[in-house]
Structure 1
Amino acid sequence: MNTLLETLPYLLDFSIVISALIGVTCGILGGAMPGISPSITMALLLPFTYAMAPTDAIVMLAATYVGAEYGGSVPAILIRTPGTNAAAATVLDGYEMNLQGKAGLALGISLYSGFLGSLFGLALLMLLSAPLAKLALAFTPPAYFALGILGLSVIATLSGGSMIKGLIAALFGLMIATIGTDPVTGSNRFTFGSSGLLGGIEPVLVMVGLFAMSELLIQAGSRGKIEHVKSRPRIQFPGLKLAKRLIKPQSIGGVIGAFEGVMPGAGGTIASFMAYNEARRYSKRKDEFGKGSPEGIAAPETANNTVAETALVPLLSFGIPGSNSTAILLGGFLIHGLQPGPMLFQKSADVIHGLYAGIFASTIGMVIVGMIILPVCVWMVNRPRAFLNAFILVLILSGIYTIHEGLTDVTLMLIAGVIGFGMRILRFPFLPTVLGLVLGFLVESNFRRSMVLSGGEASIFFENWISVGLLSVAAIFILGSTLHRVITFFRSKPQIETSNDSKG
């Protein structure tokens, strides 16, 4: 309560509010452009903060992070291109709603859920930073490995009709994650002499290629017209009945986002995928997922927007950046002579309270800015398909090129697009590939570090209560999904035989 009372006066500070609005606007626009991740958007704004007051600078960078996490859902829904890694889970149902002429409602659900997730994350940041930070410090390499395995266990649900195809797709993503520099020895792996591959392949390159380029190739090769119901050029928030239905997936997303965000290295991507999986598991309308389910948008969007705030807990309390975005925010602190950690709350309490106020202002600003620009986005999507596809292609190529300002990224994205085209034809799911790619480094690096620490003894994974708990939950998920598929198979078999007999 004292923290809240001390923060309230900063909401009346004009410079803080303006900095928050500028940051969230730039963040939404940056997140909405494929290839321009939250960290890149923050890096572009970082030089402009040199001459600003410390509190205003930190608020602008943090607000950019908040806005970008939401902005990634805009292209995910409208053009089947996740603007950020965390928005990949939103593609599945968001784009399907767009095809059904419900783009305005899908964007409204995303904005509404993102708003609730941000408020929930801010409340946790203000009230529970110390306990959550202690939990984050308890994570060791075996625990992070178990966390990665827990994330991979979601593949059983995301595999669609064929578990084998889902596993093959996931292994493909894990293989891509091994390209680059070895996390333990530092040697080069599968770079084929290319310096552009030393840092590995950015997940956004693969995701844009799989989702967006493959979609363009499919449409280019289609002789008939692509079925697409035009959406009204306005945003539509869920009504009371739908809002009640979304409470459960939003609650699931908020809890998972809080848990994942406070752990350095986890991030919004894992949170959004796990939230999507759990929302589907506990939904009464499981069959709607992947076909335009509002719950499939609400859960991941609540989760990744919650992460945007809870990820600041280890940064503020211990100076530990858990992602590229929080690392840039750490740079903003250091530029202005501030060292995040326990002493920051004592020596620079005004910066902390100003940051809380700025995040709240940016959350309100996210709704205002979203309501202004989203109708324009919906209008653009309703333009003739040929012109829209040309615009999307230019947007993708320019966005990917700006990541490292080289043609290597563009080439990799195009290759991923061709592979995605083949996966579509063969009906391989995309999401297991994305999940394997995102979690590959986390799993491999922490597994090998754990083995180094234990001298090659696998028992280290069962000595830590956190790793044991996470591995147990992962085993339950895998066994539960497998058992469900087996039961479904045997239940459907008699029906098939009966239908064949009736035909005879």
Structure 2
Amino acid sequence: MFDNMLLGLHSLADPALLLAVLIGVVGGVVIGALPGLTSTMGVALLIPVTFSLPPQVGLAMLGGIYCASTYSGAISAILLNIPGTSASVATMLDGHPLAKNGEPGRAISLATFASCIGGMVSVVALLFLAPQLAEFSLRFGSPEYFLLAVFGITVIASMSAGAMEKGLIAGALGLILSTVGTHPLTGTMRFTGGVPTLFDGIPLVVSLIGLYSIPEVIDLIDRAKGARTGAAGIDKTSPFATLRELGRQKLNILRSSLIGIGVGIIPGVGCSVGGFLAYDAAKKSSKTPQRFGEGASEGLIASETGNNAVTGGTLIPLLTLGIPGNPVTAVLLGGIMIHGLRPGPELFTTNADVTYGFIFSLFLSNLLFVPVGLLLARYGLRIVQVPAGILAPLILALAVIGAYSLRSSVDDIWIMLAIGALGWGMAALAVPRAPLVLGLVLGTLAEGELARSLALVRGDLGAFALQLVTRPVALVILVLCVSAIIHGIIQHRRNSKLLE
């Protein structure tokens, strides 16, 4: 094993591979920072470019885009309150308040270094624990996936501190919206109104753009002409000064990394869920949970560590079992097979030089997006000083372009505007929007796995309930769900007493 690792490490001396990683990282940072341009799109567009490249070089470029784009969604999330990718939704909860409070530089620096650490830890897990963790993921069946989605939904209670009723309503609305489109098993069309664009459901990225950009645009328009965006200015703190703060949150970083890796090895869950679960765990263990949502660095660090730790986790079932963990790795699987490689145990033996070279290139990608991201953010920080009258139309134009670019569909622009109107109404009524996003993300997963679970027992609810308490992994997740709900109720009662 260690001889094979040395072969992979030796490949890093190849100038072509180093250049490929740099190109991938720069492209990934730009793609992730622009709303509407997803990691999946970036990897898919670059695959044809890698046809003529050696496997190590081509895969290194694709890995650079994947890692960097997952991180850089935090840049627009922090500065504009618009998630560049779905992975950075939880980052907005504390990242944008930090920027509005006059600390955009600190927020970007914390996100960048936390993302790097989370990504590095996940690559270590991929390097040493891939076969064992992949075997564990095989224990997940439809009941386990259903309960995992339910566990994710319980995070709504934690995100709605002080307004649990509103949070639950928002979460329920997200679950309802997730049912739009084709039924996962029967193929029945639901709530589409005959609009072909809705046959596949409400697009998540389009929804995110509308939900957060349109209320931001309306808020900017409401301000006096020439007013600033709300930040006190650009903080002059050196990015490396935040390393000391990260050092004080070692437990938060370790916990968030492990959560992200765990979420990553379970196919079909995604980076956004890893960020939300890490954020929720950080809030529950914090001595000052009331600060979350108002610019708590613990929340920002947890979210960015968790969602970037998912990247290495998703590659574990991909490389060892050929099972893609999310849409990005599904496209990446195509790139691997195009180069004549077959995922499985032989990938770590027969093609060890390529496989371990790819893994070590991920280390390099996670390190390299730090200077690239900070350099890009250095110019992006000036956004917080742009007058509201200029910034509002720029954000609106960016939102329209982002919504249209996803599928080149004008209908997606109308969907974005409709969801944006909903988001504006929620903001006006002080209804949290993050629970709606979580409901929309997890609703499809929960419904599909519940339908499959019931189909396996021919609709027998008793047999389905028995599965939940007799399958070891399902029972553990069920206990976690109940514990999370009880904790949320207790926390809500404490907050209510403090307000009295």
Q: TM-score, normalised by structure 2?
A: 0.95
Instruction: Tell me the residue number matched to 1:289.
Output: 292
* Secondary structure at the counterpart of residue 192 of structure 2: coil
1:438-477, aligned counterparts within 5 Å?
A: 438-457=441-460, 458=464, 459-477=466-484
Instruction: Tell me the residue number matched to 1:328.
Output: 331
**Which one is further off, 312-321 or 465-474?**
465-474
Indicate conservation of the 8 Å contact 2:210/2:399, yes or no.
no
Of 243, 257, 260, 2:260 maps to 257
State the one-letter code of the partner of 1:288.
R
* Secondary structure at the counterpart of residue 52 of structure 2: coil
* Secondary structure at the counterpart of residue 125 of structure 1: helix
* Secondary structure at the counterpart of residue 185 of structure 1: coil
Q: Quickly say closer, same or farther: Cα 1:4–1:256, change in 2 above 3 A.
A: same
1:338-349, aligned counterparts within 5 Å?
A: 338-349=341-352
Q: Quickly say closer, same or farther: Cα 1:287–1:11, change in 2 above 3 A.
A: same
Distance in 1, matches of 2:31 and 2:496, equals 45
Distance in 2, matches of 1:10 and 1:99, equals 44
Identity of aligned residues (%): 35
1:404 partnered with 2:407 = yes
Distance in 2, matches of 1:167 and 1:413, equals 23
State the one-letter code of the partner of 1:147.
L
Indicate conservation of the 8 Å contact 1:233/1:375, yes or no.
no
State the one-letter code of the partner of 1:350.
D
1:138-149, aligned counterparts within 5 Å?
A: 138-149=139-150
Instruction: Tell me the residue number matched to 2:387.
Output: 384
The total of aligned residue pairs comes to 493
Deviations 1:366-422 (A, max 9, x none): 112112211011123322222222222222211211100011111111111111110
Indicate conservation of the 8 Å contact 2:8/2:356, yes or no.
yes
Q: Quickly say closer, same or farther: Cα 1:186–1:117, change in 2 above 3 A.
A: same
Indicate conservation of the 8 Å contact 1:20/1:361, yes or no.
yes
State the one-letter code of the partner of 2:50.
T
1:60 partnered with 2:47 = no
Of 240, 244, 262, 1:237 maps to 240
1:58-457, aligned counterparts within 5 Å?
A: 58-223=59-224, 225=227, 227-232=230-235, 236-239=239-242, 241-457=244-460
Indicate conservation of the 8 Å contact 2:322/2:343, yes or no.
yes
Indicate conservation of the 8 Å contact 1:450/1:460, yes or no.
no
State the one-letter code of the partner of 2:306.
A
Note the C-alpha offset of 1:269.
Answer: 1.0
- For structure 2, the 5+ residue unaligned runs are none
Distance in 1, matches of 2:498 and 2:386, equals 46
Distance in 2, matches of 1:310 and 1:480, equals 28
Distance in 1, matches of 2:497 and 2:67, equals 47
* Secondary structure at the counterpart of residue 231 of structure 2: coil
1:482 partnered with 2:492 = no
Indicate conservation of the 8 Å contact 2:76/2:82, yes or no.
yes
Q: Quickly say closer, same or farther: Cα 1:114–1:474, change in 2 above 3 A.
A: same
Deviations 1:129-152 (A, max 9, x none): 011000111110000001001101
* Secondary structure at the counterpart of residue 343 of structure 1: helix
Indicate conservation of the 8 Å contact 1:258/1:306, yes or no.
yes
Note the C-alpha offset of 1:72.
Answer: 0.6
State the one-letter code of the partner of 1:287.
Q
State the one-letter code of the partner of 1:21.
L
Indicate conservation of the 8 Å contact 1:235/1:371, yes or no.
no
Deviations 1:141-164 (A, max 9, x none): 000001001101111111132221
* Secondary structure at the counterpart of residue 184 of structure 2: coil
**Which one is further off, 315-324 or 200-209?**
200-209
* Secondary structure at the counterpart of residue 474 of structure 1: helix
State the one-letter code of the partner of 2:239.
Q
Alpha-carbon RMSD across the aligned residues, in angstroms, is: 1.6
State the one-letter code of the partner of 1:280.
K
Q: Quickly say closer, same or farther: Cα 1:233–1:194, change in 2 above 3 A.
A: farther
Deviations 1:59-83 (A, max 9, x none): 1111111001001100000000001
State the one-letter code of the partner of 1:230.
G
Distance in 1, matches of 2:149 and 2:306, equals 17
Deviations 1:274-319 (A, max 9, x none): 1001101111221221111111110010011111111100000010
Indicate conservation of the 8 Å contact 1:37/1:84, yes or no.
yes
Distance in 1, matches of 2:312 and 2:244, equals 29
Distance in 2, matches of 1:234 and 1:18, equals 31
Q: Quickly say closer, same or farther: Cα 1:439–1:339, change in 2 above 3 A.
A: same
* Secondary structure at the counterpart of residue 253 of structure 2: helix
- For structure 1, the 5+ residue unaligned runs are 494-504
Q: TM-score, normalised by structure 1?
A: 0.94
Q: Quickly say closer, same or farther: Cα 1:487–1:71, change in 2 above 3 A.
A: closer
Note the C-alpha offset of 1:348.
Answer: 1.4
Q: Quickly say closer, same or farther: Cα 1:491–1:92, change in 2 above 3 A.
A: closer
State the one-letter code of the partner of 2:387.
P
Indicate conservation of the 8 Å contact 2:94/2:297, yes or no.
yes
State the one-letter code of the partner of 1:322.
G
State the one-letter code of the partner of 2:202.
I
Q: Quickly say closer, same or farther: Cα 1:240–1:439, change in 2 above 3 A.
A: closer
* Secondary structure at the counterpart of residue 427 of structure 1: coil
Distance in 1, matches of 2:481 and 2:44, equals 36
Instruction: Tell me the residue number matched to 1:18.
Output: 19
Instruction: Tell me the residue number matched to 1:500.
Output: none
Deviations 1:155-191 (A, max 9, x none): 1111132221111100111111111111010121111
Q: Quickly say closer, same or farther: Cα 1:411–1:355, change in 2 above 3 A.
A: same
